[in-house]
Copies of this chain bind each other. A is one copy, B any other.
């Protein structure tokens, strides 16, 4: 045995984790640069660098010596504290996955993704699905293959779901989505018979430089520490974190749309608070960062919808909105604003969708992903299936692929199995709200004063601080008990029944 002591083996593990964290940091910054600042025609050199970084990451993690190291630590797990045991467990999972993937496949995939993202971007602008299709085919094929490497015992799509939400599977999701549809579809039907809400004022001219000020203000209200969290502008908003003291969110401003960037900032701000709230001890280890996309989206969508689209939050921020946009909002009061930002109406674009119809957008993607990975849907048939499902689920006609199956960046980024996290996260969030109020009482009085301290404090102490220390299912259960979608369907029913006087 080459390790002298458990302590020494643990040092080796931590050195490995720190190196991997550094590689994640630099590749994360490369991506941030690519999407925020890089000139348009610079992807080739970045691809070469990603290829190298992907290769060195593979070589580092897939090294068989790590298998020996992990076995040693597993044999001596009694001498490890809980954090070290969990670090061993997570590195073991990552090692087992990566060393099953042949090096050349791993590196080729990272090159493919780098290329696919720039091709997707151009294809979307040009409404040219055919340009993107060969990449989506390769990405689908790789994901199907990787699923077999990750969890040979599972159905491929279940294996992919596990990447974003450990323990999740199609059986659970099928039931979850069926339950959601049972609530949402009749609600939408009733709403469509109710008087339409007027939200035209949200699409007046809102100068981008003033929207930028609004973003700063909103981040302030959310209590986001700007010495540790930046904001940049990208085509598609996202959050990235390098450690718990360096988090970045992005947004996209549209001059004729006040709410797009407003709610994307609150959404990404929710992701950011999760990352910023992690305990320091997890930095530079395999436990840094949020534990799953479902838990992550529970935080982002909690702030975006449960808080951000609440009457109390509108009460808190409306004076500032009036101050920033006095002319645009001259004929608007708080109540009109609240109703407008909650208007429920089937539409084309997921990221712009209201809280009620949002999950139907997810279901379209979920159904398509299931079929793509199962091989029962060809990539060339995705646009048609997309249109069919939008008609069936949302009742809308999709006029172009740009507003259809090319709208999201996830597939071009290699993420198949991610979308359900948004719906799961929304449901997790509703159950957390219930638990939070059970424990600390009413939160809305504070929110109406623009004070999110109690809300964020509860989330921090129950969720954020643990980073990836607990598995998502365990974490959720330890905080909220068994997951039950009824909290979410009840929340939606109550909110929209009241809003539309149904």
State the A residues within 8 Å of B (CB). 18-19, 21-23, 25-27, 29-30, 32-33, 36-42, 44-46, 48-49, 51-53, 56, 226-230, 232, 242-243, 245-246, 248, 283-284
Contact = CB atoms under 8 A, between A and B. Distances in A.
Interface centre among A33, A44, A52 (most CB of B within 10 A): A33
Kindly list the 9 A-B residue pairs having the minimum CB-CB distance in the complex, ordered from nearest.
Answer: A22-B52, A26-B26, A41-B227, A42-B246, A45-B243, A22-B49, A25-B49, A39-B230, A40-B227
Contacts of A248: 37, 39
A45 B248 CA distance: 14
Contacts of A228: 39, 41-42
A233 to B, nearest CB: 11
B227 A39 contact: yes
A229 B40 CA distance: 9
Contacts of A19: 52, 56
A36 B38 contact: no
A159 to B, nearest CB: 31
A25 B37 contact: no
A51 B228 CA distance: 20
A18 B245 contact: no
Contacts of A245: 41-42, 44-45
Nearest to A247: B39
B246 A46 contact: yes
Nearest to A30: B29
Contacts of A44: 243, 245
A423 B23 CA distance: 39
Contacts of A49: 21-22, 25-26, 242
A283 B29 contact: no
A39 B232 contact: no
Contacts of A33: 29, 32-33
17 contacts: A18-B52, A19-B52, A21-B48, A21-B49, A25-B30, A26-B26, A26-B27, A29-B29, A29-B33, A32-B33, A39-B226, A39-B227, A41-B245, A45-B245, A45-B283, A48-B284, A56-B56
A168 B242 CA distance: 41
A278 to B, nearest CB: 12
A15 to B, nearest CB: 9
Nearest to A241: B45
A397 to B, nearest CB: 37
Given A48-B22, A48-B284, A37 B242 contact: no
Nearest to A53: B22
Given A18-B52, A22-B53, A52-B22, A45 B246 contact: yes
A45 B25 contact: yes
Contacts of A39: 226-230, 246, 248
A113 to B, nearest CB: 16
A383 B27 CA distance: 41
